[in-house]
Structure 1
Amino acid sequence: MTEKIMENVWKGMKTTGNVDEEDKEIYLFGFYQGLIFLLNLVTALLTGIILDMFLESVLFLICFIPLRIFAGGYHAKTQFRCYVMSTVTTVILLYLIAFLQKNMGVEAIALYIIATCIIWKLAPVQDKNKPLDLDEQKKYRKRVHSLLIIISCISGCLYFWGIYVVPAVVVCVVCQLSIVLIWGKLKNHAHGCTSTV
């Protein structure tokens, strides 16, 4: 079924653009990955709407996606497992964000500092399907560090102004990402795949 759909997609690509047959797998892989990303995005936003937390879901995606792209970390073995895990995690994190907006205290800040240090030290954590050379690792690490500094400054300022939604989102994003990186690091260690930076 999927093969038939992808074959029709390829035919459509060939009629609308200048694409080479030898690049078919690359184009179809990119198209498929784009669809999966879009599905995850729409699901996260719909979850936010259902829980009456649309703003929080948008802020979560804005903070999480760039960090996740450059930091790497654990990846599920199948797209379906990834989708289920992402959906369940989104629901849990949205509830945590709601809780933290009313209960942002010293514990949350301490947790944020610890999680930030973990990301700062570990990122990027490569995956066996996406190995990174030395230059890419340095470039990705620098981007992760820059993003952490930016979101920390913004959320810190908003916290002191009494606006807690962004700090709550940032605490959850950073804590989740630190777990994903540790998990990815452990998975790599178990499979003998290590980072050189």
Structure 2
Amino acid sequence: MIQRISESIVNWQIKKNILTGDQRALYLYSYEVLLNQTINVFIAGLIAIVLNAPMPVFVFLVSYIPLRSYCGGYHARTNGGCTIVSAFLIVLVCLVERVLTGELTVILPPLCLAISGALIFLYAPAPDKNKPLDEVETIHYRKRSRIVWGIEAAIGVVFWCFGIRAGIVIAISHAILSLMLVYGVFKNKKVCD
């Protein structure tokens, strides 16, 4: 469905001489990504409303998306699969944040941040067969992923120190992201072998 909508938009823009035919593939891909992201954000908003969890959803999106952009990892085969996985991860973060209490709120966030940092430093970025990286891109994305992780981890630690639950959400988000990264790395190794 997203592909058909993207094709309709691009065809209309070519017909109106807004785009040229040689730009077709680039803009098809761009519109598919834009529409998919829009649907995912809309679903995230619905989840925030249904679960009465605007802070966890917002913090998850703000911490997960930038870091995921540079780390790579698991990629669903279809836009629908991506939407389902994204929705599942958002619900998971909301539920974990809600049930995490007591001593676990003291121990788990720094542990998650430390482990995710180690995994990101070891494995990021993880290319995918749908998104291969050359050597220059790999170096660039590795550096960016480490910088983004460092900034977000520092913010998470500050929140955690002051007892702000957003620190827990950042830690959970990083833990999930690092697991997706490791899964993507090992999935790619199996495909290449």
Give the whole-Å Cα distance in 2 for the aligned partners of 1:158 and 1:3. Answer: 41
2:174 is the alignment partner of 1:171: no
**Equivalent residue pairs, number:** 192
Contact 2:110 2:157 in 1 (8 A): no
Deviations 1:78-99 (A, max 9, x none): 2212211211121111111223
Counterpart of 1:135 in structure 2 is 136
Corresponding position of 1:117: 118
Change (3 A) 1:168 1:26: same
Report the 3-state secondary structure (helix = DSSP H, G, I; strand = E; otherwise coil) of the residue aligned with 2:100. Answer: helix
Assess if the C-alpha contact under 8 Å between 1:97 and 1:168 holds in 2.
yes
Per-residue CA deviation, residues 157-184 of structure 1 (Å, 9 max, x unaligned), is 2222222x22111111111111111110
Secondary structure class of the residue paired with 2:73: coil
Alignment partners' CA distance in 2, 1:107 and 1:25 = 45
Deviations 1:74-132 (A, max 9, x none): 11112212211211121111111223366412244223311221112110000111111
| Cα distance in 1, alignment partners of residues 60 and 138 from structure 2 | 25
Structure 1 residue aligned with 2:157 = 156
* Residues 31-180 of structure 1 aligned to structure 2 (within 5 Å): 31-100=31-100, 103-163=104-164, 165-180=165-180
Query: Is 1:187 the counterpart of 2:162 in the alignment?
Result: no
Rounded to whole Å, the distance in 1 between the matches of 2:166 and 2:91 is 17
Contact 1:101 1:168 in 2 (8 A): no
Q: Which residue of 2 aligns with 1:21?
A: 21
Distance in structure 2 (CA, Å) of the matches to 1:15 and 1:185: 42
TM-superposed CA distance for 1:17, in Å, is: 5.7
Read off the aligned partner of 1:100 and give its amino acid letter.
Answer: L
Q: TM-score, normalised by structure 2?
A: 0.90
For 1:183 and 1:58, the matched residues in 2 are separated by 25
1:10, CA displacement in angstroms? 2.4
- 1:128 partner SS: coil
Q: SS in structure 2 opposite 1:104?
A: helix
Structure 1 counterpart of 2:54, one-letter code: F
* Per-residue deviation, 1:148: 1.3
Identity %, equivalent residues? 28
Asked whether the 8 Å contact 2:44–2:90 carries over to 1, the reply is yes
Are residues 62 and 191 of structure 1, via their aligned partners in 2, closer, same or farther at CA, if it must alter by over 3 Å? same
Alpha carbons 1:125, 1:181 under 8 Å: kept: yes
Which structure 1 segments of 5+ residues have no match?
none
Q: Is the 8 A contact 1:123 1:144 kept in 2?
A: yes
TM-superposed deviation, 1:5: 4.1
Gaps of 5+ in 2: none
* CA separation of 1:3 and 1:187: change in aligned 2, threshold 3 A: closer
CA offsets 1:41-77 (integer angstroms, 9 cap, x no match): 1111210111111121111100000000000001111
Q: CA RMSD in A?
A: 2.1
Task: Provide closer, same or farther for how the CA distance between residues 147 and 184 of structure 1 changes in structure 2, counting only shifts above 3 A.
Answer: same
Offset at 1:7?
4.4
